[in-house]
Structure 1
Amino acid sequence: MTAPIIEIRDVTKSYDAGRPALAGLSLDVPAGAALAVLGRSGSGKSTLLNLIAGLDRPTEGTVSVAGLRVDRLTESGSARYRRERIGMVFQFFNLLDDLTVQDNVLLPAQLAGMPAAAARDRAAELLAQLGIERHARTHPGRLSGGERQRVAVARALMNRPPLLLADEPTGALDSASAADVRELLVELNAAGQTILLVTHDTGLAEACASRIIELSDGRIARDVTVAVAR
């Protein structure tokens, strides 16, 4: 049996003497899955995402992604892990407005030391795949919210990460742009991309995910498999 791409074992995360943000949570996510994590503010969603992204460490337990013990990484090792093994998409895009779309997408490849010609080819491939090639030399501030999120997805996929993390990817978008991003996530997953989506939006989760977990007080309160129309 193929090992899960995400393996979380008995993870607890405490920040102070109060209730832990995560309390003995275990989770397996297979390659090719689209998992949505739901829950109210304070349920542990952001903490879970940060642990998987190597931005924080558990107080107890283990976190592995693509066979790598993320909870054991040094600061430099965590940065390298984020460059090479995961892509991240955020609610507010986190694009650099003084760079063109193409240069924003190229940035992860430059940080990873990818040869310039290969990086340009990969960026062109992604911009075409995501339908934004005509904006390659445009600055992000001139684009719609949906277009900016497509740029952010292209940047996240630049180094071919096995795992895409999406943190409220439609939270800052109007309804039309949100629908556009929903369709994009479905298309990416159908093509084989593993996605972990953190959201408050049950409609987004049901549209994009093949599995939904709901967190409450740092524990999994609900875990369901859903049928996604492809």
Structure 2
Amino acid sequence: MEKTTSSGAGPLISISHLTKRYEAGDPALSDLTVEVRRGEALAVLGPSGSGKSTLLNMIAGLDRPDEGTVTVDGVRVDQLGEAGSAKYRRATIGMVFQFFNLLDDLTVQDNVLLPAQLAGMPRAKAHERTLELLADLGIEQYRGTFPGRLSGGERQRVALARALMNRPPLILADEPTGALDRASAGSVVRLIRELNERGQTILLVTHDTGLAASCATRTIELVDGRIARDDAAVTR
């Protein structure tokens, strides 16, 4: 698997005084400030309702804050319109979901190709990149297979390949092992660790402390939309 390089100085993610409210009640995020360095693997822990998913959506440009700023790789994400947000996601982030979000009517190869096609990558280059990723992730033999015929672990490898297609500086992972059995989860954990060891910045959201301990170089815990704990990993 290739070594990932990140350009630029300073943090990859810079979030300042972020607040988000949904209707009545306490805010989902409350005056949250945090930075993520390039090359970190940050796990965001917390129970349901703690603000984890809201934070992920803010970083992905899928939602906007009521107050505060979100800057990722020099881009003020909180100021982007719909078209700008879509372009930002194609260029800057790769997303991995608990339930894979693969298109069942496309083959493995075509699922992985999709981000490159949306970004306008030349066809020959995109095809070469797809085969490279499938080989790196050990799923080259499934390139003509439809996702429904794969195991959960294999589908998550396809999702990781798709997320890496455009060489994004940031991978966002939402409970990436939540739908997997123990063996498949262990395989995905090893892949995430290897990606990070090669320089890929990763932010994963989970309630699983074991996953955080296995993958992350740093962990923050959210409680009621605020950071209750921020720890660098001692071992991994």
Q: Is the 8 A contact 1:209 1:228 kept in 2?
A: no
Matched, 1:165 2:172: yes
- Secondary structure at the counterpart of residue 23 of structure 1: strand
Q: Distance in 1 between matches of 2:88 and 2:21?
A: 24
What residue identity is the alignment partner of 1:216? V
TM-score by length of 2: 0.96
Residue number in structure 1 paired with 2:190 = 183
Residue by residue over 1:87-113, the C-alpha shift from the partner in whole angstroms, topping out at 9 and shown as x without a partner, is 000000000111110000000000000
Q: Distance in 1 between matches of 2:32 and 2:52?
A: 12
Residue number among 195, 207, 213 corresponding to 2:202 in the alignment: 195
- Moved segments of 4+, more than 3 Å: none
Aligned length: 229
| Cα root mean square deviation, aligned | 0.9
TM-score by length of 1: 0.98
Q: Distance in 2 between matches of 1:38 and 1:208?
A: 12
Q: Distance in 2 between matches of 1:228 and 1:116?
A: 42
Matched, 1:46 2:53: yes
* Aligned-pair CA distance for 1:187: 0.5
Q: Is the 8 A contact 1:208 1:228 kept in 2?
A: no
Q: Distance in 2 between matches of 1:72 and 1:64?
A: 9
* Aligned-pair CA distance for 1:3: 1.2
Matched, 1:98 2:105: yes
Q: Distance in 2 between matches of 1:181 and 1:84?
A: 24
Q: Distance in 2 between matches of 1:227 and 1:171?
A: 24
Structure 2 residue ranges without an equivalent (≥5): 1-7
Matched, 1:36 2:43: yes
Residue number in structure 2 paired with 1:137 = 144
State, as a whole percentage, how many aligned pairs show the same letter: 72
Residue number among 90, 94, 99 corresponding to 1:87 in the alignment: 94
* Aligned-pair CA distance for 1:2: 2.4
Residue by residue over 1:19-68, the C-alpha shift from the partner in whole angstroms, topping out at 9 and shown as x without a partner, is 00000000000000000000000000000000000000000000000000
- Secondary structure at the counterpart of residue 61 of structure 2: coil
What residue identity is the alignment partner of 1:171? G
Q: Distance in 2 between matches of 1:185 and 1:227?
A: 18
Q: Distance in 1 between matches of 2:14 and 2:208?
A: 25
Residue number among 194, 199, 211 corresponding to 1:204 in the alignment: 211
* Aligned-pair CA distance for 1:16: 1.3
Q: Distance in 2 between matches of 1:220 and 1:13?
A: 14
What residue identity is the alignment partner of 1:166? A
Q: Which moved more, 1:159-168 or 1:1-10?
A: 1-10
Residue number in structure 1 paired with 2:34 = 27
* Aligned-pair CA distance for 1:227: 2.9
- Secondary structure at the counterpart of residue 149 of structure 1: helix
What residue identity is the alignment partner of 1:191? R
Residue number in structure 2 paired with 1:16 = 23
Q: Distance in 1 between matches of 2:13 and 2:63?
A: 16
What residue identity is the alignment partner of 1:209? A
Structure 1 residue ranges without an equivalent (≥5): none
